[in-house]
Amino acid sequence: NEHRIYDCSQFKSKSVDDRITLVNKLNLCTNCLRVVHSSRVCRLSGTCKICKRRHNTLLHKSNESDTDNYNSDPISKSATSSSEVLLCTALVDIINPTTNNKITIRALLDSGSQTYFITESLKEQLNLIPIHSDTQNVIGIVIPQISGKLPKSFIHTTHLNLSSFELADPSFYIPSEIGLLIGADIF
């Protein structure tokens, strides 16, 4: 038995502002009060019975002005910023244990990943050969590219006093290709 928010006595007992806040928090359509879509693409032809606008009557504010006081399309909103986020990188030595071929590359440290990824380019530089076996554990995934160069543009570091720190990536401010993504299971 599905519990529909528009039939819920607790929802109806809330103030209009609290209902609007809850609808936006749950990313519900402001027209039919269901999930998955926004009011812009809602198939329900109904409108508010009070003002005839495209929102549910339960969300009507009696002092509503020309600009809506609720978010009519919560899942399509986004924020933009002109600042750049510096992602965690480190210079790491990668060695082919068979040939002892060693390459120092920039790796992206990703605390949200549970595995690691290596680029096809780095795999070829190290002459790594995939092992095909039914009992072989997957320890890395080869992909064409991990990201664009990081950082996206040169970062001026003259105002930073970093000389007393030992950095995992001393060239973090210079855009460079990422050859390896190291997941949280390794670092």
Same domain, 70 and 125: no
Is it the case that residue 136 has pLDDT exceeding 80?
A: no
Q: How many CA atoms lie within 13 A of 176 on its CB side?
A: 19
Q: Tally the domains of the chain.
A: 2
Are 87 and 150 in contact, with CB atoms under 8 Å apart?
yes
How far apart, in whole angstroms, are the C-alpha atoms of residue 37 and residue 28? 7
What torsion, rounded to 10 degrees, do the Cα atoms 17, 19, 21, 22 define?
160
Q: Are residues 144 and 100 in the same domain?
A: yes
The amino acid present at 117, given as its one-letter code, is F
φ, ψ for residue 26 (rounded to 5)? -85, 0
Number of Cβ atoms within 10 Å of the Cβ of 56: 25
> Which candidate, 88, 107, 86, places its Cα nearest to that of 179?
107
Indicate whether 118 and 170 sit together in one domain. yes
Per-residue pLDDT reduced to its tens digit, 5-46:
888 889 889 999 999 888 888 888 888 888 767 667 777 777
Q: Which one is predicted more confidently, 85 or 134?
A: 85
Residue 58 sits in the same domain as residue 105: no
The reported pLDDT for the residue numbered 9 is: 87
Q: What is the largest CA-CA distance in the chain?
A: 77
**Final residue in a domain of this structure, among 44, 76, 108:** 76
pLDDT at 13: 92
Tell which of 57, 76, 95 closes a domain. Answer: 76
Q: In the listed set 42, 76, 110, which residue is the last one of a domain according to the structure? A: 76
CB atoms within 10 A of CB 14: 14
Instruction: Give the mean pLDDT of 60-76.
Output: 54
Q: What is the 3-state secondary structure (H, E, C) of the chain?
A: CCCCHHHCHHHHHCCHHHHHHHHHHCCCCCCCCCCCCCHHHCCCCCCCCCCCCCCCHHHCCCCCCCCCCCCCCHHHCCCCCCCCCCCCEEEEEEECCCCCCEEEEEEEEECCCCCCEEEHHHHHHCCCCCCCCCCCCCCCEEECCCCCCECCCCCCCCCCCCCCCCCCCCCCCCCECCCEEEECCCC
Clarify whether residues 13 and 30 are in a common domain. Answer: yes
Q: What range does the domain containing 107 cover?
A: 80-187
Give the mean model confidence (pLDDT) for residues 139-159: 80
